[in-house]
Structure 1
Amino acid sequence: MATITSTGIGSGLDVETIVSKLMSIERQPVVNLQTRATALEAKLSSYGKLQSNISTLKDAATKLNNPDIWGANLSTSSDATAVTAATSQSSVAGNYAVKVTQLASAQTISSTAYPANATTVGQGSLTIELGAWNATNTGFTPTAGKSAVTINIGAGEDSLTAARDKINSSGAGVVASVVTDSQGARLVLRSASTGASNGFRVSANETAPGPNGGAGLSALAYDPSNGVNTATLAQSAKSAMGTINGIAVVSETNSVANVIDGLTVNFAKVTLDATGAASEVNLTVGPDKEAIKKAITDFTTAYNALATFMKEQTKFVPKSGTTAATAGPLQGDSTAIGLQGQMRSLVSSSSTLGGSLTRFADIGLDPQADGTIKITTAKLDSALGKMGDLKKLFSGLDSADANNNGLTQKIRDLTDKVLSFDGSLNSKQTGLRDSINRNGKDQDAINLRLALVEKRMRTSYTSLDKSMASLSGLQSYVTQQFGGK
């Protein structure tokens, strides 16, 4: 219920002003608690942001501790239009001279043209058999364990598209399509896979003629080994051929695997020099230096963001002239200052595991006076030439002395510790939340007491006002009785 306030009813006593000023004094403990709550909230917010920055640093350090990034290889080609390579963790670093003398291809045959107005291709059956042709296409060796497939084409399924679909659904190992040119429509068959062993031959058995009484399914017959060449050979089945470091290689596809450990070499075109002779393409396989450099740069960025944030949050700027002193939310906070010191100590620490590279400064990561790290690119690029030592400097583990571990390994250990459930950051934030809750309860208790105090004050001063008004009236009466003015 709203409080009714007024100035003195009869005496002119300013009850409201008196009560208001007295209550402002009484409320000072609440004001102090509110000021304290604001500081606690700011500190809790800062710790939340600090936790986020440390998590980002932990992720960056973890990446540099992961063997995958150090084991990642990259291949470069002197002619990527002809030869490329896909690397893996097991790729062997080195230089490889590659010649491509032949690309893998699929056998392709085309039927004679059916008239443009043809509605059927004839009825009967096609028998398709997979195998390998000899160099002159006069001898055929069927694929062992693979039976020929017969496709029956009857009435109602003898259109070009229907015949195409029956072939494609037969599992014969070929792909059929319809191609139309100026002479009419053709059925084109292509082996489903490249390679010399994936050739095929086709025999036809007609039970009904084709369009206008002409050739029907026999237009697709192809078996030079038996003198049948009705269909036209557009492309022979061939395997990819070439050499890698002088060693002859043959592959059913244009991707050559298992010749070099962990490396798949991809052929895109035959390699020829200006005279038309086979020429070499140079493949270089080695560590992915750019990926590692980026990971180091990302780590430095994450560390600098943390260092800058902590400096800002813990700073104290003394009073200067009329400018009041200012302090960061974590100024004087022992947990934050302690963590700041630990981080600075770690980036300046050393490890003997990295051989000639013992500290960050050796690889161009130079600690600055403000707590950040400055990268000297030329020095870092030079260190990337010592990949084994660089890896150990960052991620090495010393089973006898953890203090000698790699530098990001030590930073990862520290971030794990402070971010853990019972780590210093969670403990600090839990304590701050508890303090904020207690502060709120203290404010509620004092405000409840102050409401009673204010009520008593208003009652007392209102009563005083009435008493003073009564005395003033009595004085006027007495004065009148005795003829006073």
Structure 2
Amino acid sequence: MASITSAGLGSGLDVESIVTKLVSLEKQPITDLQARTDTIKTQISEYGKIKSAFSAMRDAAAKLANPTTWSALTATSSDTTMATVIAGAGSGAGSYALDVANLASAQSLSSKGFANNATVGSGSMTIELGQWSGTNNSTFTSKNGATPVSISIASTDTLANIRDKINASGAGVLASVVTDATGSRLVIRSRDTGEANGFRITTADDDGNGSDADGLSALAYDPTASISSMTQNTAARNANLTINGLAISSASNNIEGAVDGLTINLLKTGQSTVTVGQDKDSVKKAINDFVTSYNSLMTLMRNDTKYDDANKTAGALQGDSTAVGLQSQLRNITAAGSTLGGKFGRLSDLGLDIGADGTIKVNDTKLTSALGSMSDLKNLFMGVDTANPNNNGIATRWRAFADQVTGFDGSITTRTTGLQSRVTANNKRVDELNDRAAAYEKRVRAQYTALDTQMAKLNDMQSYVNKITSMLGSS
């Protein structure tokens, strides 16, 4: 609630206005100090942004100083519709000729057609994984480690019910129902490709005959017992191919281990050439990523330290010796180059040109050409000169410089700590000045209130004298 004062009522003096103006003058140093504190806080904020930008630049430089970046390999296929390939750990540069005779396949059987929602018959069916051989699958060899799975079929089970029971049994096969104009068929295929993942189906039909094509035996397939009620649409086969003339047989179309570190995914038969070489695209990306982070840092520092003559405005760190020094040091490292890079002595030799504003402009054509001399390029960025660290690879020096300035006792940390100390001191001084202004306000208010009281008394006396004088004059 606002206070009510009678000061000035007796004398006509505007005591409240006088006191307010005097106190405002007394508080002017506080306003000035708070403005300076706000400026310092802005500087602290900008140094926080610079530190983050340095960290981002450091991470990008570290990637260029990491041997893994330069040893990464990539694999390509001359016909990606026939085979795709991935180079992993342990792969080596080289060229490999693929000749795929056939793909790996899963065994697939289909039943005769049934009326929609018709039942088949009751009993049990047993599914066993293994490998077929001989003429017309005359021999079956059970898969090592696989156990035959028996499934009980009720007289009310439709093809859909049987499908669901097969899929829930874990027998190593997958069942589906295919319906067309001629009726519904049960289709069963191996879950996995490869000749060892074939299967046979035997039935114990409640109609007493497990070998005819009626009842549940209509879903049987065992050529070794001359039972082929279901039709084989696809045989279980291994993929057969040659790699540089060496014959390879694989249960899967995903070939691993045939060539160290390479994963080859077969898509169709035919011939293709797989080439494994240095991953130039990933190196190029690492260089471009660094340029992006470096330019962001340089742009930030340039804007913070510049003075705009046209608008008469200064950046938050204009004239700040630490910021200007960081900018200069970073430019010097970037411009210095290294003698370790062979044919590349400076960044400009590979299409990275430093502009007048300190940022790097990329000549993509020149950079792409430089990627053809990967060893020299690698040494320019991450080479180590034990006799002269100032001649180390540029990325190595970028990373070291960023670690230094952002470290616990680095120049950014030191400068930020100093600025924060000034904020603390200013805040303390503001508190002191506020206390002094409050005491001053109390003092001058008392003085002007007393003056107002005295002037009121004098005014009363003047009025009395005037009244007496008037009376004497009229007598």
Task: Output aligned runs, 1:76-475, within 5 Å.
Answer: 76-116=76-116, 118-126=118-126, 128-134=128-134, 136-143=135-142, 145-146=144-145, 149-153=148-152, 155=154, 158-208=157-207, 215-271=214-270, 280-317=271-308, 325-475=312-462
Answer yes or no: is the 8 Å Cα contact 1:123–1:158 preserved in 2: no
Per the TM alignment, residue 202 of structure 1 is displaced from its structure 2 partner at its CA by 3.0
Answer whether contact 2:92 2:276 (CA < 8 A) is retained.
yes
Question: What are the superposed Cα offsets for residues 67-107 of structure 1, whole Å, 9 maximum, x if unpaired?
Answer: 44333333333321111111214322233332222111111
Q: Cα distance, 1:331 vs. partner? A: 1.9
Q: 1:82 to 1:23 in 2, by over 3 A?
A: same
Deviation of 1:141 after TM superposition, in Å, equals 4.8
Inter-CA distance 252–459: structure 2 relative to 1 (3 Å threshold): same
| 1:110/1:232 contact within 8 Å kept | yes
C-alpha separation between the residues in 2 aligned to 1:23 and 1:171? 90
Partners of 1:144 and 1:112 in 2: how far apart?
Answer: 27
For the residues of structure 1 that align with 2:110 and 2:313, how far apart are their CA atoms?
86
Q: Is the 8 A contact 1:109 1:235 kept in 2?
A: yes
Once the two structures are superposed, what CA deviation does each residue of 1:439-463 show, in whole Å capped at 9, x if it has no partner?
1221122111111112211221232
Query: What is the CA distance between 1:415 and its match in structure 2?
Result: 1.7
1:12–1:114 Cα change, 3 Å = closer
Distance 1:18 1:418 in 2: 54
For the residue of structure 1 that corresponds to 2:221, the secondary structure is coil
How far apart, in 2, do the equivalents of 1:368 and 1:117 lie?
A: 78
Residue 207 of structure 1, CA deviation? 3.1
Q: Which residue of 1 aligns with 2:57?
A: 57
8 Å CA contact 1:130–1:173 kept in 2: the answer is: no
Give 1:274's aligned residue: none
When residues 152 and 94 of structure 1 are mapped into structure 2, their CA distance, relative to the original with a 3 A threshold, is closer
Count how many residue pairs are aligned between Structure 1 and Structure 2: 471
Cα distance, 1:12–1:177 mapped onto 2, change above 3 Å: closer
Please report how far the alpha carbon of residue 363 of structure 1 lies from its aligned counterpart in structure 2 after TM superposition: 1.4
Q: Is the alpha carbon distance of 1:22 and 1:107 closer, same or farther for their aligned partners in structure 2, counting shifts above 3 Å?
A: same
Q: Which amino acid aligns with 2:139?
A: F
Counterpart of 2:236 in 1: which secondary structure? Answer: coil
Aligned partners of 1:410 and 1:292: how far apart in 2? Answer: 18
Instruction: Give, in angstroms, the shift of residue 194 of structure 1.
Output: 0.9
Q: 1:217 to 1:27 in 2, by over 3 A?
A: same
Q: CA deviation at 1:400?
A: 4.8
Offset at residue 209 of structure 1 (A): 6.0
1:150 Cα deviation after fit: 4.9
Distance 1:56 1:5 in 2: 62
1:143 Cα shift?
A: 4.2
Deviation at 1:33, TM superposition (A): 1.0
User: CA, structure 1 residues 10+119, in 2 after alignment: closer, same or farther (shift >3 Å)?
Assistant: same
Residues in 2 aligned to 1:18 and 1:148: alpha-carbon distance in whole angstroms: 104
Q: Assess if the C-alpha contact under 8 Å between 2:151 and 2:169 holds in 1.
A: no
Specify the code of the residue in structure 1 equivalent to 2:303.
E
Task: Say if 1:64 and 1:156 are closer, same or farther in 2 by CA, change over 3 A.
Answer: farther
SS at match of 1:120: coil
| Whole-angstrom distance in 1 between the partners of 2:307 and 2:168 | 79
Q: Tell me the secondary structure at the aligned position of residue 100 of structure 1.
A: strand
CA deviation digits over 1:207-245, x for unaligned, max 9? 3269xx961232233333443322211011111122233
The answer to whether the 8 A contact 2:255-2:263 is kept is: yes
**Alpha-carbon distance in structure 2 between the residues aligned to 1:476 and 1:203:** 134
TM-score normalised by the chain length of structure 1: 0.87
Please give the alpha-carbon distance, in whole angstroms, between the structure 2 residues aligned to 1:154 and 1:478.
131
Deviates more, 1:67-76 or 1:97-106: 67-76
| Greater alpha carbon shift after TM alignment, 107-116 vs 251-260 | 107-116
Deviation at 1:289?
2.4
Closer, same or farther: CA 161–38 of 1 in aligned 2, 3 Å: same
The 1:424/1:5 distance shift into structure 2, 3 A limit, reads farther
Residue type of the partner of 1:332?
Answer: G
Structure 1 counterpart of 2:391, one-letter code: N
Partners in 1 of 2:452 and 2:163 — Cα distance?
A: 110
DSSP 3-state at the match of 1:44:
helix
State the TM-score, normalizing by the size of structure 2: 0.88
Q: RMSD in angstroms over aligned alpha carbons?
A: 3.0
- 1:275 maps to none
Q: In 2, distance between residues paired with 1:40 and 1:376?
A: 40
**Higher mean displacement: 352-361 or 80-89:** 352-361
Counterpart residue number, 1:15:
15
Task: Say whether the 8 Å CA contact 1:7–1:16 is kept in structure 2.
Answer: yes
SS in 2 for 1:145: coil
What is the DSSP-based 3-state SS (H/G/I as helix, E as strand, rest coil) of the residue aligned with 1:342? helix
1:300 Cα deviation (Å)?
Answer: 0.8
- Following superposition, the deviation at residue 264 of structure 1 comes to 1.3
Partners of 1:112 and 1:231 within 8 A in 2:
yes
In the other structure, the counterpart of 1:276 is none
> Could you tell me whether the CA contact under 8 Å between 1:157 and 1:163 is conserved in 2?
no
d(CA) in 2 for partners of 1:182, 1:316: 83
| 473-482 or 251-260, which deviates more | 473-482
* AA at the equivalent of 2:29: P
Matched residue SS, 2:120: coil
